[in-house]
Structure 1
Amino acid sequence: MLAYNHGKGSLENWLITETEFSPDALGKCESIMYLGNGYMGLRSATEEPYLHEVRNLFVNGTFNRFGGDEVTELPNLADVTRIDLRIDGERFSLEFGETKHYLRQLNLKTAELTRSFDWISPKGKTFRFRFRRFVSLDRLHLIGMKMEITSLDSPAEITFHSGINGRMTNSGTQHFHEGEKRIFDKRYLQLLQRTTESNIDVVINAAHRVTVNGEEIRDPVMAIDRRMVGLTFRLQLSPGDKLVMEKLATVYTSRDKEFDKPDYQLAKLREVSLQDLKDCVKKGYDALFQSHCRAWEEKVWNKYNLNVDSEDGFDVLALRFALYHLTVMTPAHDERMGIGAKGLSGEGYKGHSFWDTEIFILPFFIFSNPEVARSLLNYRYLGLAGARKKARENGYEGAMYPWEAAWPEDGEVTPVWGAVDIVTGEQTKIWSGFIEQHISADIAFAVYQYYTVTGDREFMERYGYEMVFETAKFWASRLEWNEEKREYHINDVIGPDEYKEHVNNNAFTNYMAHFNIQLAITYYEKLEKENPRRLAELEERLALRKAYEKWKSVIGRIYLPQPREDLVIPQDDTYLSLKTIDLTKYKQSKKVGTLFQDYNLEQVNKMQVSKQADVLILLYLLEQWEKKFSQDVLKANFRYYEPKTLHDSSLSLSTHAILANDIGEYELAYSLFRRAAEIDLGPFPHSSDHGIHAASIGGIWQAAVAGFAGLRLSGGKLRISPRLPKHWRRMEFSIYWKGQPVTVSIDHSALIVKAERNEPFELEVCGKTYTCKDQLTIHIDPKN
């Protein structure tokens, strides 16, 4: 059971707390309480093992493909967290004996996981346990653990085994060859692994310091076995004695930037990683943890300055939860890596990157941390080779980005086969890797958004223009001429609504392709005027003049579905003519995907039912470009499509929350925001078993900042149109606009915008244009 009210004083709305232990619902807290720093992610399994646990340690970018019938995935590295503990010879487990005062907590402020409880053994002896753990934001290779056991009333023999366990798999798939194991000085453990196909070396080191009442225990029993190395400690506790174990581990790989070089040597990797561990041991857990806390304060909480004064503390906690996970999932250290759909919290989606990054996560970094945003876009630039390869293989020109991406050079890595068809009993084919193609335009949109917000010309000239031009070339070659209607169509696709496969003229896809080509035309002409030398360089490699002429010839003849008489934009050529069914029980279900307990995908394809926002997210994105539909069109489409949308994708609710706020449905907007936050934080015990929902976490920030604060692009300008929920008294956050830090403060009567460098800029507030020179205060009519 989760609780959010345990933080008091300075920790109010900072703690996520599990108040009862359940061996049948382990995955929830393993995921939402996972620890990380963007370099690696450590799932928060308990120290003692349980049957249904999932222990995961992932290092970003270390993708491996086990065999020809599988796709590449992030491999599950050796585990350092398990401790096999025996008390008086009996295995310790919370499934036995009696547990009192149980608390497991993730402190979002300090990014530390703690667990504490009193335990009465089956023999009636009482012990007090406390466990602590962190993955350092200060030292990216470091994992810290601490265990304390106090005997409260009886003498006892304590035995525990701790080490490095290389017997881990990804749901049964073993990605590593057996590697060398070593123990140095009865203290320093080292285990080597090498991936089976990508040939990435992994070196994991660990060291223990064990004391009883402050006196160190120095003579453990050493053990090396197949894929394992560890130490066993045996000691006696008298009543009142306290055992303390500190365990520090370092993780390094040959994919790390400092080692991924032509002169790479495994011996050097081993030496550096072991020396780092020895340096950490000298400092100890507490000093290392304090440095880690300072890093979180400086790099996250002080930098983003997101504060909400709400009558409901859950809102504050949810936004802090979002910032926490946006930090731990993002490889800010290396532009060769993207963000997985589950972050680094679980095996779901195999660590692959989707459109989740560009549409739902990247906006946070574009406005709040442009350096990280640029790194994430550089990852897509590095993926151009794979995107060009996919385009060629499918008979197209330019760059056709993979629906699922891993290492940039890998290209398309979407699995071909998925879950069982409940009607036929056969495995379902996953078509998204073949025909869900809007991601190429989504990436172009992200480039546009980044450039408009940051003004980063150097990025555009080195990377951004090429990405836009190459994706536009793809779309120009993808268009299909309809002779009867004398216009270009885009047939046989999947749009954002993945419950509709093999559709023609998906509105989102057509409009975004049109946007992509128009953006390429705009940028081509901009370069022609402002930097003809760079244009000539790109022309030499990309044959842009020919492409530009093609773009100009097709741009006005692409079919763009228009609002009907009832102002509804057809999602595709057939959606509005499909049959309707009563969706009440599926809309009210606490689980996603319950529709497929009654129908298979072929049947769902023939119904007016959507998985997630499709036309609606199109309206949200187009407003940030130059195309803006009327408020009446927005209302009509929201009221038509939302009742038919099951929100079976976690990234759907936040979009609907933003648009509900835009059309004045304020209570609904907050309800949808709350539901988005509860995807991971809610009471449903298995909602996050396979990992957190990265896109939804980015969506929580967007729902608050783009929705309630109303901050977004509008025709290339900054717009702020606040509509705070009634029970939010005040909201404050920091962003960057054209490189300048800007602080925004909002309450129900005023908006205050402060240009931190006193560099003037224009912004639109509630339909009026203002110039902010230093600090701008605008009074808001609370009735409007």
Structure 2
Amino acid sequence: MKNYIKADEWKIIEEGFDPLLNKISESIFSLGNGRMGQRANFEESYTGDTLQGNYIAGVYYPDKTRVGWWKNGYPESLAKVINAASWIGLDISVDGETLDLAQAEVSNFRRELNMREGYLLRSFTARLKSGKTLEVTAQRFCSIANDEVAALRYNITPVDFSGTIKLTAFIDGDVINQDSNYGEKFWEQVEGKLSDNEAYLTLRTKKTAFEVCTGTSVSVFKGKEQVHPEMEAVYKEKYLGQTFNMACSPEDTLSICKVAANLSSENHPKDLLMAHCRQVVQAAAALGFEQLLQAQVAAWASKWQESDIVIEGDVAAQQAIRFNIFQLFQTYTGKDDRLNIGPKGFTGEKYGGSTFWDTEAYCLPFYLATAEPAVGRNLLIYRYKQLDKAIENAEKLGFKNGAALYPMVTMNGEECHNEWEITFEEIHRNGAIAFAIYNYIRYTGDEAYMADYGLEVLIAIARFWKQRVNWSNDKHRYVILGVTGPNEYENNVDNNWYTNLMASWCLKYAAEAVYQVKMQLPKQYRQLAGKLDFKEKELADWAVIVEKMYYPQDPKRGIFLQQDGYLDKEPLTVKHLSASDRPLNQKWSWDRILRSCFIKQADVLQGLYFFEEDYDLETIRRNFDYYEPKTVHESSLSPCVHSILAAKLNDEARAYEFYLRTARLDLDDYNNDTEDGLHITSMAGTWMSIVEGFAGMRVREGQLQFNPFLPGKWEAFSFSILFRGARLNIRITEHGIKIKNDSAVPLTVKVRESTRQLAAYGEIKADDSMIWPVM
């Protein structure tokens, strides 16, 4: 666990330069706008330890799979978001000596991510080996006002010398993914053009033939005056550079501004790609850095108005939740239903930037409450458009009749994960897709989605579960064999409780959806039934499985068993582990992990979180008290579920402990892996920990409910949500809860057991009897 980020409500601040922390900071200070993003690499040369990363949403490469033992059904490639051309590059040299923070004496180093206004600011003093000293300030952003545009401004001031500073502004497309399976470079050059102040480089991905044009417009200033020094063009393979030589003295500040654009063939015709890039660059350059920055500040102000969570009395918690919200919106804006949310977003290459079940299980609730319904809808449409591929994935494994198995890891709908215990066995992901449809409709009230898109997906998923179960003559129940549940520290188990629960629920929900669409839209239902060759006899088959599904449990302890045989394991808890044992996945053999009782993340508790209304409080408590002490939380997705359930159980201490762990997971590098990139999808869990945990927000029968309490370290907290056309502000203090309606839409809300009418532009209050006493 690191502790070098300074506490601040609106900023992430690093003071002092430690090369050993640089890759961690490159992740933490990453920028993005939903269409592109980059790690916080330095603009100037750096020969120290670094992970260069610039990424373009939707552009990927099918890297050939690398496995030691091929199994039938494995995908041939792992589709991954690829490192793209760097537009930020600047080479700086003083009288032939390169500015390189790995070689210079660095002082006054400060890096600041301004989350309120959406930019990265860096400053430092560098003493070169020659003894010459420079002061540098660099500022950059990826615009969310125009998501094809980015800009930087780089200021250099000589401190103690006069001489010649050589500036080379470049676009470098000769890059490689650190996670390239065979060391292959994924890009080839299509075209490059260079003028006095503009540069355009078009690259094409091998195999997939995506094209991306990166363009820049460069302007040079001496003091406040723009100057036009002679430019020397630099042409290399997949590289364009513009070199300027500038005489300088201690009273001079030299500035270089780069306005950049990244356009892809996903959004522009290939034959017009460079021409369109030129138009975007020239329009942005005409506005200039300051106007682009003003638009960025205004766009982020609007985002924060919709989504901010204010925590009073706890700066560390406040900083953390804003950091998580900021990174979520940098990763996904919901404008394009072809895009989704990678576990690392635009901050690193781990997990290939692909889509996991994380989106449906953890991210969707955040976007439902903080953005217009179209944003959440697009996350669902993404899966709908990949239904044919999900059916193909199931067919490869022997399933028939339109059964769909959504991939564990994907970019275009095809499975691209090649570990057998995940690819073939972690099939509970199908349940997350179905639950997302339920969750979306429950929250938005968009019933039309079911007939237009949802039912087709639900039927295909139900057909998968129908074929995946088998009848046990011994148990006289349907069972599901050979699976991996959410706890990936158990593989190839029988009757994982969570998986069986999700399968049964999917079958039941699909049947209810069939009935609903048939009654409400009979013509549309008949058309869909014909398209899918759906016979209502299937409903009877599903009903039998639902009625006779087997669920492992231990009546003596009053708990649901994670899977058959779980009680055969040695009954240890995390307290039995020494610090040298952690994390298990780095310290223990896989054999030892599989034989242990330790749990990577919520498994049984994940099911209780999804369906808590089906279980009484004591049942939830017994299972929580049994499984939480065995959970090592070595998945970033784990602490938030535990925090929410602990809050429901009035366990303030553990609710707050798990909140801090999920909230500051990356800022404090809890799991010693932040250098690989941030845990974007678990960041949505941080939001859930506050809104669903501390505020106790739920949707039941189309109505918002709150069951709040105030953590003892907080003076108050407040947040805004959108719900069925209404914008609400909720504030919770030691005196109670206040809900203000900032819209013309009246609502009925429930606080604890009290149902209240919330008028248009009105507010309601509940006194401190609604809040748990501080413990």
Q: Same fold (TM over 0.5)?
A: yes
Specify the alignment match of 1:46 in structure 2: 42
User: What is the SS of the residue equivalent to 1:443?
Assistant: helix
- The answer to whether 1:138 aligns with 2:145 is yes
Pick one of 249, 264, 271 that aligns with 1:253: 264
Q: Matched residues in 2 for 1:558 and 1:304: separation? A: 41
Structure 1 vs Structure 2 CA RMSD: 2.0
Deviation, 1:561, is 3.1
Pick one of 217, 240, 248 that aligns with 1:207: 217
- The answer to whether 1:573 aligns with 2:584 is no
Q: Matched residues in 2 for 1:407 and 1:549: separation? A: 34
Specify the alignment match of 2:249 in structure 1: 238
Q: Matched residues in 2 for 1:144 and 1:544: separation? A: 57
For 1:619-768, what aligned pairs fall within 5 Å after superposition?
A: 619-623=608-612, 627-682=613-668, 686-714=672-700, 717-768=703-754
User: What is the SS of the residue equivalent to 1:64?
Assistant: strand
- The answer to whether 1:405 aligns with 2:410 is yes
- The answer to whether 1:270 aligns with 2:285 is no
Specify the alignment match of 1:116 in structure 2: 123
Which residue identity lines up with residue 545 of structure 2 in the other structure?
V
> CA contact under 8 A between 2:175 and 2:185: conserved in structure 1?
yes
Q: Matched residues in 1 for 2:554 and 2:507: separation? A: 22
CA displacement 1:45-94 (0-9 Å, x = unmatched): 11222332111111111121144654111111111222222122212122
Change (3 A) 1:336 1:499: same
Specify the alignment match of 1:372 in structure 2: 375
Specify the alignment match of 1:332 in structure 2: 334
Q: Matched residues in 2 for 1:684 and 1:50: separation? A: 27
- The answer to whether 1:293 aligns with 2:284 is no
> CA contact under 8 A between 2:197 and 2:217: conserved in structure 1?
yes
Specify the alignment match of 2:73 in structure 1: none
Q: Matched residues in 2 for 1:368 and 1:547: separation? A: 38
- The answer to whether 1:779 aligns with 2:767 is yes
Number of residue pairs matched by the alignment? 749
TM-score scaled to structure 2, two decimals?
A: 0.93
Specify the alignment match of 1:390 in structure 2: 393
Change (3 A) 1:540 1:587: farther
Q: Matched residues in 2 for 1:610 and 1:495: separation? A: 11
Q: Matched residues in 2 for 1:603 and 1:683: separation? A: 26
Deviation, 1:683, is 5.3
> CA contact under 8 A between 2:133 and 2:160: conserved in structure 1?
yes
Change (3 A) 1:505 1:771: farther
Specify the alignment match of 2:384 in structure 1: 381
Where do 5+ consecutive residues of structure 1 fail to align?
8-12, 417-428
Deviation, 1:587, is 7.0
Specify the alignment match of 1:37 in structure 2: 33
Change (3 A) 1:331 1:231: same
Specify the alignment match of 2:230 in structure 1: 219
For 1:158-177, what aligned pairs fall within 5 Å after superposition?
A: 158-171=165-178, 172-177=183-188
- The answer to whether 1:21 aligns with 2:17 is yes
Deviation, 1:107, is 0.5
> CA contact under 8 A between 1:735 and 1:741: conserved in structure 2?
yes
> CA contact under 8 A between 2:719 and 2:730: conserved in structure 1?
yes
> CA contact under 8 A between 2:17 and 2:107: conserved in structure 1?
no
For 1:478-493, what aligned pairs fall within 5 Å after superposition?
A: 478-493=468-483
- The answer to whether 1:560 aligns with 2:534 is no
Deviation, 1:598, is 4.5
User: What is the SS of the residue equivalent to 1:650?
Assistant: coil
**Which stretch has the larger CA shift, 377-386 or 452-461?**
452-461
Specify the alignment match of 2:526 in structure 1: 536
Change (3 A) 1:595 1:683: closer
Deviation, 1:109, is 0.8
For 1:305-320, what aligned pairs fall within 5 Å after superposition?
A: 305-309=308-312, 311-320=313-322
Q: Matched residues in 2 for 1:546 and 1:343: separation? A: 43
- The answer to whether 1:616 aligns with 2:616 is no
How many percent identity over aligned positions? 29
Pick one of 195, 201, 214 that aligns with 2:205: 195
Deviation, 1:596, is 3.7
Q: Matched residues in 1 for 2:712 and 2:741: separation? A: 27
**Which stretch has the larger CA shift, 502-511 or 529-538?**
529-538
CA displacement 1:158-208 (0-9 Å, x = unmatched): 112221111111123311123221113x22111111111111111111121
Q: Matched residues in 1 for 2:351 and 2:310: separation? A: 32
Change (3 A) 1:765 1:587: farther
User: What is the SS of the residue equivalent to 2:79?
Assistant: coil
> CA contact under 8 A between 1:491 and 1:503: conserved in structure 2?
yes
Where do 5+ consecutive residues of structure 2 fail to align?
67-76
Q: Matched residues in 2 for 1:490 and 1:609: separation? A: 22
Q: Matched residues in 2 for 1:164 and 1:534: separation? A: 52
**Which stretch has the larger CA shift, 236-245 or 541-550?**
541-550
For 1:593-612, what aligned pairs fall within 5 Å after superposition?
A: 594-612=583-601
Specify the alignment match of 1:420 in structure 2: none
Which residue identity lines up with residue 234 of structure 2 in the other structure?
A
Deviation, 1:4, is 5.3
Pick one of 179, 192, 199 that aligns with 1:181: 192
Change (3 A) 1:200 1:586: farther
CA displacement 1:429-464 (0-9 Å, x = unmatched): 452111100111111111101101101123222112
Q: Matched residues in 2 for 1:305 and 1:595: separation? A: 36
Q: Matched residues in 2 for 1:735 and 1:681: separation? A: 25
User: What is the SS of the residue equivalent to 1:362?
Assistant: helix
CA displacement 1:510-535 (0-9 Å, x = unmatched): 11111111111211222222222221
- The answer to whether 1:150 aligns with 2:154 is no
Q: Matched residues in 1 for 2:643 and 2:598: separation? A: 19
Change (3 A) 1:582 1:66: closer
User: What is the SS of the residue equivalent to 2:623?
Assistant: helix
**Which stretch has the larger CA shift, 398-407 or 698-707?**
398-407
Deviation, 1:730, is 1.9
Which residue identity lines up with residue 253 of structure 1 in the other structure?
S
CA displacement 1:490-509 (0-9 Å, x = unmatched): 11000000000001111111
> CA contact under 8 A between 1:25 and 1:685: conserved in structure 2?
no
For 1:374-453, what aligned pairs fall within 5 Å after superposition?
A: 374-397=377-400, 398-408=403-413, 411-414=414-417, 416=418, 429-453=419-443
> CA contact under 8 A between 1:579 and 1:608: conserved in structure 2?
yes
Deviation, 1:736, is 2.4
Deviation, 1:301, is 0.6
Q: Matched residues in 1 for 2:742 and 2:287: separation? A: 38
Q: Matched residues in 1 for 2:621 and 2:144: separation? A: 44
Change (3 A) 1:68 1:582: closer
User: What is the SS of the residue equivalent to 1:284?
Assistant: helix
Which residue identity lines up with residue 238 of structure 2 in the other structure?
R
Q: Matched residues in 1 for 2:162 and 2:250: separation? A: 6
- The answer to whether 1:75 aligns with 2:75 is no
> CA contact under 8 A between 1:61 and 1:407: conserved in structure 2?
no
Q: Matched residues in 2 for 1:406 and 1:89: separation? A: 45
Deviation, 1:366, is 1.4
> CA contact under 8 A between 1:580 and 1:609: conserved in structure 2?
no
Which residue identity lines up with residue 603 of structure 1 in the other structure?
R
Change (3 A) 1:783 1:359: closer
Deviation, 1:123, is 3.1
Change (3 A) 1:587 1:347: farther
Q: Matched residues in 2 for 1:761 and 1:136: separation? A: 36
Specify the alignment match of 2:539 in structure 1: 548
> CA contact under 8 A between 2:709 and 2:772: conserved in structure 1?
no
User: What is the SS of the residue equivalent to 1:316?
Assistant: helix
